[in-house]
Amino acid sequence: MSSTIETEARVTDYPQSSGIRYLLSWILWPGLLASCMFAVITGLNRGLDPVLTLFSVYFVLIVCIAILERVMPHEPSWNKNDGQIGNDIFHTIVNYIVVGAVVEAAVVALIAKLVMLSTTLTSASIWPVDWPVWAQFILLLFVGEAGSYTAHRISHEVPFLWRFHAVHHSATSLYWLNTGRFHTIDVIETVVLALPLPLLLGAPAELMFLFTCFTMFVGVLSHCNIEMRFGILDWIFNTPGVHRWHHSTVIEEGNTNYGENLMVYDVLLGTHFRPGRQIHVVGTDTPVPKSILGQMIKPLTGYKE
Ligand SMILES: [Zn+2]
């Protein structure tokens, strides 16, 4: 395998790996995701604090990804410093975590009042609480995806919203840290559109927590710079195999694969794109500033001088 070819070609075939590296490239994505969900569920069953459990597991996942990105990168040049580390830490902590949590709490409180009002009137929630937990979780993935697919798609197709989402697509490499590169408005839009439907249907809080964990794990894995293979999983989940194409600099390739966890609405609505090859050049033509101040303010005023 030649890293020179990898770094120069925009699109390549999957590399000719063999042995343990080939085996790992197949089992890492499902293995890491399943291990993280198993660890969270085990922690909850043992009475550990849910938020502490989530962040502990998330931290271990990040460490594993960061090591694997050095050992078996998908694109070696993406491991170089892109000068955005400070900005990405700011976006991740302030926007992705703090703003995301505050808006989520506000939406949950608002919907809780509405649900209480409606259940007083109708005397029942329509969520199938008698189903097995695994079946409820799959239902929640489908229901939750409807809002996040819509939020993500309009953030690409509505020019005003693209201004904010372009900050996320300004990354010229994909790796674990720039998963959280989101503008405040982008985070608010996603939470406000994605959360209400499952909450209005009465999805239980414990299930919503597991859904949040799953979404965070899939999110950071979708950006990881690790050589992996996915096969049929590319049609079911938001794997790096499809999400890297979503970050393509070619607009027709980038305006695809909007799913946050699942690919179901992309497949149904014709936005699924999976050529069976690998992409190595990501970014956007939108002139997103390099500075954190510019990244926060420029989307509000527009990119034209
Ligand atoms: Zn996008």
Mean pLDDT in residue range 148-167: 96
Distance CA 31, CA 90 (A): 30
Q: What is the pLDDT of residue 8?
A: 61
Burial group, residue 152, by CB count within 10 angstroms (0-12, 13-18, 19+): buried
Q: What is the pLDDT of residue 120?
A: 60
* Residue type present at position 132: P
Separation of CA 5 and ligand 1 centre (Å): 27
Separation of CA 232 and ligand 1 centre (Å): 22
Mean pLDDT in residue range 45-69: 96
Distance CA 153, CA 229 (A): 26
Separation of CA 151 and ligand 1 centre (Å): 10
Separation of CA 188 and ligand 1 centre (Å): 15
Separation of CA 173 and ligand 1 centre (Å): 14
CB 126 within 8 A of CB 202: yes
Separation of CA 247 and ligand 1 centre (Å): 7
Separation of CA 122 and ligand 1 centre (Å): 39
194 vs 16, which has greater pLDDT? Answer: 194
Question: In the numeric block, which tokens belong to residue 192?
Answer: 């406000």
Q: What is the pLDDT of residue 126?
A: 87
Q: Residue 125 — pLDDT band, cuts 50, 70, 90?
A: confident
Separation of CA 260 and ligand 1 centre (Å): 10
Separation of CA 166 and ligand 1 centre (Å): 8
Separation of CA 111 and ligand 1 centre (Å): 27
pLDDT at 74 > cutoff 90: yes
Mean pLDDT in residue range 107-131: 77
Q: What is the pLDDT of residue 147?
A: 96
| HEC-encoded secondary structure of the chain | CCHHHHHHCCEECCCCCCHHHHHHHHHHHHHHHHHHHHHHHHHHHCCCCHHHHHHHHHHHHHHHHHHHHHHCECCHHHHCCCCCHHHHHHHHHHHHHHHHHHHHHHHHHHHHHHHHHHHHHHCCCCCCCCCCHHHHHHHHHHHHHHHHHHHHHHHHHCHHHHHHHHHHHCCCCCCHHHHHCCCHHHHHHHHHHHCHHHHHCCCCHHHHHHHHHHHHHHHHHHHCCECCCCCCHHHHECCHHHHHHHCECCHHHHCCCCCCCECHHHHHHCCCCCCCCEECCECCCCCCCCCHHHHHHHHHHCCCC
Question: In the numeric block, which tokens belong to residue 5?
Answer: 């070819």
Separation of CA 165 and ligand 1 centre (Å): 7
Mean pLDDT of the chain: 92
Separation of CA 39 and ligand 1 centre (Å): 29
Separation of CA 246 and ligand 1 centre (Å): 6
Beta bridge partners of 278: 12
Separation of CA 7 and ligand 1 centre (Å): 23
Mean pLDDT in residue range 104-120: 79
CB 273 within 8 A of CB 253: yes
Separation of CA 6 and ligand 1 centre (Å): 24
Q: What is the pLDDT of residue 124?
A: 59
Q: Residue 115 — pLDDT band, cuts 50, 70, 90?
A: confident
Separation of CA 258 and ligand 1 centre (Å): 7
Separation of CA 254 and ligand 1 centre (Å): 7
Separation of CA 180 and ligand 1 centre (Å): 12
Separation of CA 259 and ligand 1 centre (Å): 9
Distance CA 68, CA 74 (A): 10
pLDDT at 3 > cutoff 50: no
21 vs 125, which has greater pLDDT? Answer: 21
Q: Helix 50-71 to helix 205-223 angle, to the nearest 10 degrees?
A: 20
209-250 per-position pLDDT tens digit: 999 999 999 999 999 999 999 999 999 999 999 999 999 999
For the ranges 16-20, 72-76, 148-152, 205-209, the lowest mean pLDDT is seen at 16-20
Separation of CA 253 and ligand 1 centre (Å): 11
Question: In the numeric block, which tokens belong to residue 286?
Answer: 């939108």
Mean pLDDT in residue range 110-136: 80
Mean pLDDT in residue range 117-137: 81
Beta bridge partners of 12: 278
